[in-house]
Structure 1
Amino acid sequence: MQGKKQTPERKFKTIPILVSLLLAGFIGMFSETALNVALTDLMQVLNITPTTAQWLTTAYLLTLGILVPISGLLLQWFTTRQLFIAAVSFSILGTFLAAISPSFEFLLTARVVQAMGTALLLPLMFNTILLIIPAEKRGGAMGLIGLVIMVAPAIGPTIAGLLIESLSWHWIFWLSLPFLVAALIFGILFMQNVSEVTKPKIDALSILLSSLGFGGIVYGFSSAGEEAGWGSPKVIIAIAIGVVALVLFAVRQLTMKQPMINLRAFKYPMFTVGVLMVFICMMVILSSMLILPMYLQQGQGYTAFKAGLLLLPGGIINGLMSPIMGRLFDKYGPKWLVIPGLVIVAVSLWFFSSITPTSTVVFVIVLHSALMIGISMIMMPAQTNGINQLPLQYYPDGTAIMNTLQQVAGAIGTALAVSIMTAGSKSFMKTVTNPADPINIVPAFTHGVQNAFIFGMIMAIVGLVVAFFLKRVIVQHKAQGMMH
């Protein structure tokens, strides 16, 4: 990070830069989950099966899984302004196409364009914040990101439910458009170039291997949630290609002078622990965020809007807790937040595994809120602590690794949860005298959902074991001349 640009006089207008990034990020995350509630509606309108509808989410995750790893390279090739304007432009184009889309194929294409915008924006947001905020205040800033990243997906389903009931699903996208345009204008006016453009050599083979690797794994796991399940050749081949490509990718990165993603970041133990924590956390969040709304609608018979409303308190609490956790992290370090957080998550999921069609609204709201408080205690502290251990030149690599693995974890978590749920329902049907009797549908579904929550609880316990290895990182390098 040395060079002419990084003179100590360099001042950044931190607030406008943050506002531009957070506004665009908020809408990106909002449209990612808002569609989940609309899936039931879309199946009827577009005349598609649940498996096909699932691709609207999978294609989004797949695009992120392929593009986010390349983001570390892009951050070194283009200026902050160029990347920001490109990211928001893709988001605007994708959102507009989705808003006017007449068919499933058209909507799917629009989702891919939208995801291209989000894939550029997420790493840019993390990297910029790491460069303009000194380490000792970083927890608070990361808390703000947490507020955005967590509240948007939380209110997404509620707002989407309202729009679907009163207007149509197209309005989910019409609503996002003006905010994205505002973010673009704001960014054009205030965004500054914070990172240095070094233009490292582009290695086509690395890009190919990373795309095949992450793409194969996301695609394979996502397809496993479909009817054919884990045994289908498509799933086995995709995951096998993914794993082989990733191994080759890792070997290539470690032998290159200028790797695309510098995997030597994993030499720093707290970074590795942080990555593991974030991975487990994303699996738990995304799988429960998919299973719970489905159960509220199909198992308990709530409307999309009411299901969204029930999940709103937890989402808001999580968002509000995020900046508080950021400040506590700056003061006390990660361990005293992460360990209790994982205990809360594991206990909440254990209670959730006893959910039934007669479970009360209070039961759902209290447990979901507890789950969200636990997650706010884990995610940001583990992430910030991990990145803090890296030397400055590894920041783009560290953020690319974290963001990529979050997408992969999301895909794996949702796929595992859906297949565990399906398997649970099938095994329940085998125990009943008359599987064709419709009276058995809800109990079978409930049994599957309970199994999916037990899977989440086991993941949280694994995370708890890892958390005992956490140590607080004291940052050696100050953000050089990054703040006035």
Structure 2
Amino acid sequence: MKDVVSTRVKLSIFAVGLLSFTGILIETSMNVTFPTLTKVLNVSLGTVQWLTTGYLLLTTVVMSTTAYILKKFNPRRIFVFAATLCLIGSIICMAAPNFPILMSGRLLQAVATGLSTPLMFNLIFLEVPQSKLGLYTGLAGVVISLAPALGPMYGGIINRVWTWREIFVGVIPLIVILFLIGYFSIQGKAPGTKGISFDYGSVIGLAIIFSMILFTFDQAGVHGWTSLNFIGWLIISIAVIGIFSWYNRRSSRQLIDFSILKLPVLRLRLFSYFSLQFINIGLSFVLPIFAQTALKVDSAQAGLMLLPGSLLGAVVGPFAGYLYDKKGALIPLLFSGSLITIGSALFWFKSESLTLTSITLIYLILRIGFNFGFGTSLSDGSMQVQGPKKSDQNSLFSMMQQYAGSLGTNVLSVVISAAALTSGTKNTVYNTILGTKIDFIVLTVLSLSVLISVIYVYFRYEKKNN
């Protein structure tokens, strides 16, 4: 039957999806081990943070290449390569005697995640019938959104009961099982890259741009928003982005076909997709810091307060996809934009009187909104392009959602640091509350922008076609 998804396809998506889940889980679980690693490996906190920063940057850059890679290599070959790198990286990290070797293992895992996440969506777009696209994209969204919430809990428990090395021990058997499932279930042929040359210049350019943007915001956290350091690097970053745009328009080679951004609906769905992940990962960083600093709770309580929202959000994700399949994009995206705006605004207005219970409840509202819109934005974005351009759309969306998480953590942490510079006091609790309140204002404005973009698309494009 045309609308039936075969067991083979389900297993192939399951294998690639769980490989992506494993990569993201390890990434976020390592964050809670940083204080331990600084002592065990005898490095500074600034150095050990590159385990996350370097991982996210390399994952983003690898994702930028997948539009070409998905056309060049068969899906099974890509999966085998990614799973092998993830396994080797996990073994290296497990046995690492020092920081450089641990970092090298993490970078191998970054390449694996950078390949597996776009591959997961590519299998969905190519092998799942259009009538079930929203449902399966919603399930894939659960993989991306649930792992960051479970990671700190997994890492914290393992690190408390055993050591940080067991974080990697625990995933090695899973990777081997996924390798076997994927090897025997993943099929398909690459469409080929005839007439397309790989653009090494664009890869280098994107790596420089992504790094410079993060470094620029770091300057605000160290020197303030009005400092010459921040303003100077901001100007340089804008100039580099301009040069890259000029190069990309004139280059005969192709990394990603950025011309798809000329499609207005796709462009606005990408904005929603990016913004939702910015809010999701940013809050998963800010709220535990706020709870531990202002409310004086321990790390376990701070991590567990996000769990109800994450679990409920994971449940509603597939339902949102089903709703998209039956009713279209408007209802789930309108519901999503409304809830994330309400949730962000509640955090803002109650920032000085938040409790562990109120954070849990407000985060519950916000996560339902996130999961209603995250997969739907991707599904509707994929419907705007056809044929080989789906690989470009998939790569672009995967790359930007990955970078959104990195940028969200970076920007919101910088806001807190900058607030401490300008507050005129060294009271850590006061500075954290002040900085977090500004973060909530930023997220409220961003959430409202997402809601407005949904309404604009409907009245400007979709209503005319109905």
TM-score, normalised with respect to structure 2? 0.90
> Match of 2:71, as an amino acid?
Q
Percent identity over the alignment?
Answer: 25
Helix, strand or coil at the partner of 2:97: coil
1:45-66 CA-partner distances (Å, limit 9, x unpaired): 4454443343222111110222
Q: Is the Cα–Cα contact under 8 Å of residues 38 and 164 in structure 1 kept in the other structure?
A: yes
Change (3 A) 1:470 1:342: same
Q: How is 1:205-224 mapped onto 2 (pairs within 5 angstroms)? A: 205-221=201-217, 223-224=218-219
Q: How is 1:268-417 mapped onto 2 (pairs within 5 angstroms)? A: 268-353=263-348, 359-417=354-412
1:300-351 CA-partner distances (Å, limit 9, x unpaired): 3333322222111111111111101000111111122222322211221222
Change (3 A) 1:236 1:73: farther
| Structure 2 equivalent of residue 134 of structure 1 | 129
Helix, strand or coil at the partner of 2:256: coil
Q: Is the Cα–Cα contact under 8 Å of residues 79 and 197 in structure 1 kept in the other structure?
A: no
Q: Distance in 2 between matches of 1:346 and 1:462?
A: 9
> Match of 1:469, as an amino acid?
Y
Match for residue 455 of structure 1 among 442, 457, 462: 442
Q: Is the Cα–Cα contact under 8 Å of residues 346 and 457 in structure 1 kept in the other structure?
A: yes
Q: Distance in 2 between matches of 1:408 and 1:240?
A: 20
Q: Distance in 2 between matches of 1:238 and 1:182?
A: 46
CA RMSD of aligned residues (A): 2.7
| Structure 2 equivalent of residue 443 of structure 1 | 430
Q: How is 1:130-209 mapped onto 2 (pairs within 5 angstroms)? A: 130-199=125-194, 200-209=196-205
Q: Distance in 2 between matches of 1:234 and 1:177?
A: 44
Q: Distance in 2 between matches of 1:116 and 1:234?
A: 32
Q: Distance in 2 between matches of 1:193 and 1:401?
A: 22
1:145-188 CA-partner distances (Å, limit 9, x unpaired): 01221222221111222112211222222212211121112112
Q: Is the Cα–Cα contact under 8 Å of residues 62 and 218 in structure 1 kept in the other structure?
A: no
Aligned residue pairs total: 457
Q: Is the Cα–Cα contact under 8 Å of residues 17 and 116 in structure 2 kept in the other structure?
A: no
Q: Distance in 1 between matches of 2:248 and 2:54?
A: 27
Report the more deviating stretch, 187-196 or 366-375.
187-196
Q: Is the Cα–Cα contact under 8 Å of residues 349 and 453 in structure 1 kept in the other structure?
A: yes
Q: Is the Cα–Cα contact under 8 Å of residues 286 and 412 in structure 2 kept in the other structure?
A: yes
Q: Is the Cα–Cα contact under 8 Å of residues 321 and 376 in structure 1 kept in the other structure?
A: yes
Q: Distance in 2 between matches of 1:404 and 1:314?
A: 25
Q: Is the Cα–Cα contact under 8 Å of residues 68 and 193 in structure 2 kept in the other structure?
A: no
Q: Is the Cα–Cα contact under 8 Å of residues 225 and 416 in structure 1 kept in the other structure?
A: no
Change (3 A) 1:308 1:220: same
Change (3 A) 1:157 1:402: same
Q: Distance in 1 between matches of 2:109 and 2:224?
A: 28
Is 2:465 aligned against 1:469? Answer: no
Q: Is the Cα–Cα contact under 8 Å of residues 202 and 244 in structure 2 kept in the other structure?
A: yes
| Structure 2 equivalent of residue 21 of structure 1 | 16
Change (3 A) 1:111 1:72: same
TM superposition shift of 1:219 = 4.6
TM superposition shift of 1:427 = 3.0
Report the more deviating stretch, 191-200 or 391-400.
191-200
| Structure 1 equivalent of residue 114 of structure 2 | 119
| Structure 2 equivalent of residue 106 of structure 1 | 101
Change (3 A) 1:411 1:147: closer
Q: Is the Cα–Cα contact under 8 Å of residues 253 and 262 in structure 1 kept in the other structure?
A: no
1:349-375 CA-partner distances (Å, limit 9, x unpaired): 222235668743321211111110010
Q: Distance in 1 between matches of 2:203 and 2:431?
A: 44
Q: Is the Cα–Cα contact under 8 Å of residues 139 and 326 in structure 1 kept in the other structure?
A: yes
Change (3 A) 1:386 1:232: same
1:107-147 CA-partner distances (Å, limit 9, x unpaired): 22222221111111111111121011122210011011012
TM superposition shift of 1:86 = 0.9
Unaligned runs of 5+ in 1: 1-10, 477-484
TM-score, normalised with respect to structure 1? 0.86
| Structure 2 equivalent of residue 479 of structure 1 | none
> Match of 1:201, as an amino acid?
S
> Match of 2:200, as an amino acid?
A
Q: Is the Cα–Cα contact under 8 Å of residues 278 and 406 in structure 1 kept in the other structure?
A: yes
Helix, strand or coil at the partner of 1:469: helix
